[in-house]
Structure 1
Amino acid sequence: MGAGFYFIPGGGNNSLSHDVIQDINTVKTNTAKLSVASNSLLVVLKLAVGWMSGSVSIISEAAHSAVDLLAALIAFVAVRKSGKEPDAVHAYGHGKIENVSGMIEAALIVLVSIWIVWESVDKLRSPQPTELVGYGMAVMLFSAGVNWWVSSRLQTVADQTHSHALAADALHLKTDVWTSIGVFLGLVAMKLTGLTWIDPAIAIVVAAIIFKAGWNMTWNSLYELTDISLPHHERDLIHDILATHPEVVSHHRLRTRRSGSLRQIDVHVLLDPGLRLDRAHAICDQVEAELESQLGSCDVVIHPEPAGSHERERSKES
């Protein structure tokens, strides 16, 4: 086994890996559909009550839900496209589509927050009484409850499948939960005190929360699009797994990145030069299986080298 030989372990389980990947994509797609349905309902309710009552905070929440709906549609398309098999043009798969969708969703969040501030400042300059406050309070409570349940479901599936698109969608809806509660409390305060400026003031607070969420999401998506390495604790886990195999003398050139829900790992391992090729292959298969067990979906490339070859090459160079 020469120093230049490499292979991708696990080649004998392609059908099983394909079935597992398809199951994951089905779960992700169905969960994305749930978000689309719930946001569609909330947009209609909030817009109806917002326009009838004249409340800028309720209308801002309708705009927030409209962005959530668009984000849910983007996430739905992203998880379907990202699950496509690699092809001649995309040899590493289509996982980055999820990261791109996260960037688009983040940009939408930032834009809608700016629009809410613009409308709220105009309402502060010329305050108008808000009608049907009770209906607005009821819609806000209903919205908070629905989004809490859907966001929890999205986050659970995102954690299980490591889906960036679903995690971004869950963040949208979690933000909507707290902004809905904020608008509800503002409507309660306005009903009790009769102070009309409370409504646009609450809307500005909502916009600030939305903007912060969008800003954080932008940076998270940007980092992964620039092929940043996996987090320190995940790289440490890779080192630990390799260290548990006595046949692995050492390893080097560990490279990692994330593409959508797929972790891509590339590493050189130094093995006992006396090992048979089939035994070396079995060790690499076992390492790959342990990595997938601990980290989830992985695309692992292991480059085995005979122990001592790396040091000999370095001594020649020096």
Structure 2
Amino acid sequence: MTVFNSETIALVKKELRIITVSLVVSFVLTVAKFAAYFLTHSVAILSDALESIINVVAGAFACYSIYLAGKPKDENHPYGHGKVEFFSIGFEGAMIFIAGILILFKAGQNIFLDRKPDDISNGLWIEIATTLANLWLALYLKAAGKRMSSITIAGNGQHIMTDVYSSGALIGALLLMRFTGWHWVDPAVSILLGVVILVNGYKLLRRSISGLMDETDMQLVDKLIHVLNTHRRDTWIDVHNMRVQQYGNNYHLDCHVTLPFYLPLSDAHEEMKSLEHLVTKEWESHGEIEYFIHSDPCLPTSCRICKLLECPVRSFAFEQLLTWDRENVLPNKKHGS
């Protein structure tokens, strides 16, 4: 039976409260935007309203994904349930992509049928009010997602911020129509918004697929390498075959570390624990991290990159310290051999 610890329960409850705020606000704003559409029959405003529906649907899906991602590891899910967050942003991306297609279809229809919007004054004020509310919501979610290392909340905030940008462009177009009477601006802006929405939907889908396929996040790798280079010990002769995987707020790191071959097993174990403690301390802001670190014995040719000058069995003189980077840390190759 799955058991939740108190910290996990508190974190999940906090994330659920945040995403519930997003869900409720998005629902209210969606109703307001559809009211603006029925007042004006502007296809551009309809485009904005359709995108807002996605905010509501994605928020509802995110509620479940946050609950599931917060569940602890069990026998059937030894790495936890965090991968569901990538399903969440993938679902959101797919919904955004569909909305973009619908918007383009509706805009094209209005161009061929030469439909003109009604008086847009009332709709303009509603759009301004909903855009300001969305701006507050997006900033709130992005800050909360960064603070809690939640890709679901941060992704939801990023999506709503995109909605703010598109709504801002829409307000500009409505103002232009209001003062010039250029009705062709309405479908033109709708097409532009549709393309922007399609691009953002693709980006979320791309991020979802990369996470589900365990694509390496090079920014995380660079941070880890920087930490190891900054705090390296002389006994850590080499690091290679590094892999970093993300499971929601949890990360899994495995790598090989070359140590002096003559170290007793207990000393080698302490070296590995020291490395783990070092990374854990530097990683606190990202979330929890677990390790699978394999220790390799050094070879005589490793002496050329080994800075342990008091080594009692040195075969070759030290030549140059190997600075770890992506090129030599990620491949499964022991260096100096």
- TM-score grouping bracket, smaller chain normalisation: 0.7 to 0.9
Is 1:186–2:173 an aligned residue pair? yes
Question: Compared with structure 1, are the counterparts of its residues 140 and 259 closer, same or farther at alpha carbon in structure 2 (3 Å cutoff)?
Answer: same
Is 1:141–2:167 an aligned residue pair? no
Match of 1:235 among 209, 213, 221: 221
Which segment is superposed worse, 275-284 or 204-213? 275-284
**Distance in 2 of aligned mates of 1:159 and 1:266:** 25
Alignment-derived partner of residue 14 in structure 1: none
Question: Compared with structure 1, are the counterparts of its residues 25 and 307 closer, same or farther at alpha carbon in structure 2 (3 Å cutoff)?
Answer: farther
Question: Compared with structure 1, are the counterparts of its residues 251 and 294 closer, same or farther at alpha carbon in structure 2 (3 Å cutoff)?
Answer: farther
RMSD of aligned alpha carbons:
2.8
Q: TM-score, normalised by structure 1?
A: 0.84
Match of 1:248 among 236, 247, 259: 236
Alignment-derived partner of residue 266 in structure 2: 276
Partner SS state of residue 263, structure 1: strand
Unaligned runs of 5+ in 1: 1-16
Is 1:41–2:32 an aligned residue pair? no
Query: What percent of counterpart residues are identical?
Result: 23
Is 1:30–2:23 an aligned residue pair? no
Alignment-derived partner of residue 205 in structure 1: 192
Distance apart, 1:156 and its partner CA: 1.4
Question: Compared with structure 1, are the counterparts of its residues 52 and 87 closer, same or farther at alpha carbon in structure 2 (3 Å cutoff)?
Answer: same
CA contact (8 A) 1:162 1:262 kept: no
Q: TM-score, normalised by structure 2?
A: 0.79
Name the structure, 1 or 2, with higher relative contact order (CA <8 Å, separation 6+): 1
Counterpart AA for 1:93: G
Question: Compared with structure 1, are the counterparts of its residues 66 and 290 closer, same or farther at alpha carbon in structure 2 (3 Å cutoff)?
Answer: same
**Distance in 1 of aligned mates of 2:36 and 2:208:** 35
Counterpart AA for 1:165: T
**Distance in 1 of aligned mates of 2:117 and 2:206:** 38
Is 1:262–2:253 an aligned residue pair? no
Partner SS state of residue 86, structure 1: coil
Which segment is superposed worse, 119-128 or 109-118? 119-128
Alignment-derived partner of residue 320 in structure 2: none
Is 1:82–2:55 an aligned residue pair? no
Alignment-derived partner of residue 6 in structure 1: none
Which segment is superposed worse, 293-302 or 95-104? 293-302
Question: Compared with structure 1, are the counterparts of its residues 219 and 310 closer, same or farther at alpha carbon in structure 2 (3 Å cutoff)?
Answer: farther
Alignment-derived partner of residue 151 in structure 2: 164
**Number of aligned residue pairs:** 298
**Distance in 1 of aligned mates of 2:134 and 2:38:** 22
Alignment-derived partner of residue 294 in structure 2: 303
Counterpart AA for 1:237: K
Question: Compared with structure 1, are the counterparts of its residues 295 and 35 closer, same or farther at alpha carbon in structure 2 (3 Å cutoff)?
Answer: closer
Instruction: Kindly indicate which of the two structures has a greater share of residues assigned to helix.
Output: 1
Question: Compared with structure 1, are the counterparts of its residues 203 and 163 closer, same or farther at alpha carbon in structure 2 (3 Å cutoff)?
Answer: same
Once the two structures are superposed, residues 13-64 of structure 1 have per-residue CA deviations (whole angstroms, 9 ceiling, x without a partner) of: xxxx955544443332222112101110011111122123212111221111
Counterpart AA for 2:123: G
Counterpart AA for 1:235: V
Unaligned runs of 5+ in 2: 303-332
Counterpart AA for 2:257: V
**Distance in 1 of aligned mates of 2:291 and 2:13:** 23
Match of 1:123 among 107, 110, 116: 110
